[in-house]
Amino acid sequence: MRTDRTFTMLKPDSVEKGNVGAILEKITAAGFRIVALKLTQMTVADAEAFYTVHNERPFFRELVEYMTRGAIVVAILEKDNAVEDFRSLIGATNPAEAAEGTIRKLYAASIGENAVHGSDSDENAEIESQFHFSEREIF
Ligand code: CMP
């Protein structure tokens, strides 16, 4: 399994606030190469499937509603040690705990509306990439 790619979503709050350009700039400035990119919107069924690991959590319905309420930007990013380095770049899930300079510290409003997603393992990066992209959309 390749270890040099990760998957990200710029969530509806990032699109609504006009932060997509600034966030992509931070991502590429940190050395990630964009190998797939598109604007899309998840259906309720998509979000329930994507976040199935969280389906017993008390925030699950809120999460599905948030992630389906508008457009998102999905991307596959390439860099050595991509999963770990990208999670460092985005910062902690809760922006109140995120380090200075991280994407969530700069752009996230709350633990629920936290601006960006980053895969938590190489295996999930592959699964999540295939969820959103066909082979011919990946370069
Ligand atoms: P992420 O880590 O990308 O994927 C799971 C998402 O669930 C997380 O981002 C948040 O958007 C959301 N989430 C996690 N914890 C909470 C919480 N305590 N309350 C509401 N939403 C949460």
> Does the pLDDT at position 1 exceed 90?
no
Q: Does ligand 1 come within 6 angstroms of the Cβ of 112?
A: yes
Residue 104 pLDDT: 98
* Phi/psi-derived region of residue 59, left when phi > 0, alpha when psi is between -120 and 50, beta in every other case: alpha
Active-site residue (options: 117, 119, 125, 129):
117
Could you give the C-alpha distances from 6 to 21, 52, 56, 131, in angstroms and in order?
Answer: 19, 19, 26, 13
54 is catalytic: no
Q: Do residues 90 and 14 touch, judged by C-beta distance below 8 A?
A: no
Q: How confident is the model at residue 2 (pLDDT cuts 50, 70, 90)?
A: confident
Of ligand 1's atoms, which has the minimum distance to the CA of residue 114? 11
User: 5-137 belongs to which homologous superfamily?
Assistant: Nucleoside diphosphate kinase-like domain (3.30.70.141)
Centre of ligand 1 from the C-alpha of residue 59, in Å = 8
Ligand 1 lined by 114 (C-beta under 6 Å): yes
Residue 122, pLDDT above cutoff 90: yes
Residue 5 pLDDT class (50, 70, 90 cuts): very high
